Structure 1
Amino acid sequence: MKDQHTKNTESSINIEKVKQDLEPIIINVTERKLPQRAYQILRLAIRNLKLLPGKTILEREIAEVLGMSRTPVREALIRLQTEGVVKLIPRKGFEIEPIEAKDLREIYEVVEMLEGLAAKLSTTTIQQEQLSELETLIEQQEQAINEENLAEWARLDNLFHFKIIGYAENKRLLNVIDVHADLLYRARLITVKKRPLPFQSIIEHRAIVACMRAQDGEAAQASMQSHRKRARNEILKAL
């Protein structure tokens, strides 16, 4: 039987492996203030499934991975807890919140409406070069699917949606959607290999951009909402 000291020194993660997995994220985060730096790294690590849903992590482990003291790590984890990304389990550490179908369904109901509105608003503000950017992104998405690089497709898909939201030029709309963006991205990543190859998404993206080129905001809104609804049903089925 293991004594209490042994139990307390056990690791819930493979620290060296996590260091290796997080290295590209750590290198690219330029924030110097340690609490904000720890927060950004952990948020991206969770978002990109480098730290998986349901996994329990300890402050001391993450501090070792990030090369920091436990204080900024604790601040970062508490901030992530207020955002619903992790939860504190007394005497065990922080658990990364699992992706629950009920939560995802509720979030998609909100996002469908808001992204539809963003598509409608963008139609009145978008420039020709921005429409061309969206079309280039669609071509890159199609290439990623053909190469079966589904992680890259998910990244490009996310970028496509956030460019449209940005083109709406409504900061409050962007902020509300951004609150839920990481969970939706994680859900796409974790289910992408359990769903049909997303060629239908390419067709729908082209339809959205076509509506925007035609300056038909109502049609762009309807196309975006239909697109999000189909994706929601596909993801929930995979979950």
Structure 2
Amino acid sequence: MNLEEELQLFIRNLEGLDEYRLPQRAYHTIRLAIRDLILPPGKALLEREISDALQMSRTPIREALVRLEMEGVVQLVPRRGFIVGPIEKKDLKEVYDIIKTLDGLAIEIATANVTDEELDSLEAIIIEQEVALKNENLKQWSFLDDLFHATIIEYANNKRLSAVIDSFADQSYRARLFTIKERPIPMISIIEHKAIVSCMRAKDGKAAGMLIQSHRRRAQKEILEVLDRTNHAEISSN
């Protein structure tokens, strides 16, 4: 499957893009394709290829790529166009330092007001994660893991906090997906998620906050170790 076919298949599974103007639609599509590794780190992005795949003129594609460059997602390389940025260990460490702190704050706020029905929804996500692992579908597990954390942030009902966390979410999701096959099977995450929900049911926001921060630290450690091994292997092969 070539890039155009991959992107067209990816677009068919996206929702809500029709409401955006063309530059915004191009931006969101390319950003999500990078997040989901349809466009992996180091991938060259030729305006013509993206234009053909998204069935748009080059103008909105160019605007989207320039915006993504300003955000540090892609890099402009003279005479080569744009390439998808690498997953840098230093950047990722900074991202996780921010996310785990804000996750702790979000879950404390959420725990104070969360309903039984909302907690049931979180438990339903955990059950789906267990099914995904049973089916060895690590990509689906990663999607559900992201959904679990995003749902807790939603329950905090704090738009500013949500906006800050969301600005870093793509980077952490991309790294998680990029390393998932090289990390231990994430059964321990299922156990941690269940413990987090139990603390929320008990209305113990402090304990829930400590658990979710510990959960993030463990995931960060695993991901950074994989990136270390990957970088070491690349250096050795050069």
TM-score (structure 1 length as normaliser): 0.91
* Contact 1:114/1:173 (8 A) holds in 2: yes
Aligned length: 224
- Looking at structure 1, the residues matched to 184 and 69 of structure 2 have their Cα atoms a distance apart, in angstroms, of 33
> What secondary structure does 1:52 align onto?
coil
| 1:31 to partner: Cα distance | 3.5
The equivalent residue for 1:192 is 180
> What secondary structure does 2:72 align onto?
coil
| Mapped pair 1:170 → 2:158 | yes
What is the root-mean-square deviation of aligned Cα atoms in Å?
1.1
* Contact 2:8/2:53 (8 A) holds in 1: no
| 1:17 to partner: Cα distance | 1.0
- Looking at structure 2, the residues matched to 24 and 225 of structure 1 have their Cα atoms a distance apart, in angstroms, of 36
Query: Structure 1: any 5+ residue segments left out of the alignment?
Result: 1-15
Identity of counterpart residues, as a percentage? 55
Deviations 1:127-163 (A, max 9, x none): 1110000000001101101110000000000000000
> What secondary structure does 1:88 align onto?
strand
Which one of the candidate residues 151, 155, 161 is aligned to 2:149?
161
Deviations 1:157-192 (A, max 9, x none): 000000001100111111111111111111111110
- Looking at structure 1, the residues matched to 19 and 224 of structure 2 have their Cα atoms a distance apart, in angstroms, of 35
The equivalent residue for 1:43 is 31
Deviations 1:18-68 (A, max 9, x none): 122112332233235211111111011111100011112121221122111
TM-score (structure 2 length as normaliser): 0.91
* Contact 2:108/2:205 (8 A) holds in 1: yes
- Looking at structure 1, the residues matched to 157 and 20 of structure 2 have their Cα atoms a distance apart, in angstroms, of 29
| Mapped pair 1:139 → 2:127 | yes
1:18 aligned partner, one-letter code: L
The equivalent residue for 2:11 is 26
Which protein shows a greater Rg? 1
> What secondary structure does 2:18 align onto?
coil
Query: Structure 2: any 5+ residue segments left out of the alignment?
Result: 228-238
* Contact 2:8/2:54 (8 A) holds in 1: no
| Mapped pair 1:89 → 2:77 | yes
- Looking at structure 2, the residues matched to 173 and 97 of structure 1 have their Cα atoms a distance apart, in angstroms, of 26
> What secondary structure does 2:40 align onto?
coil
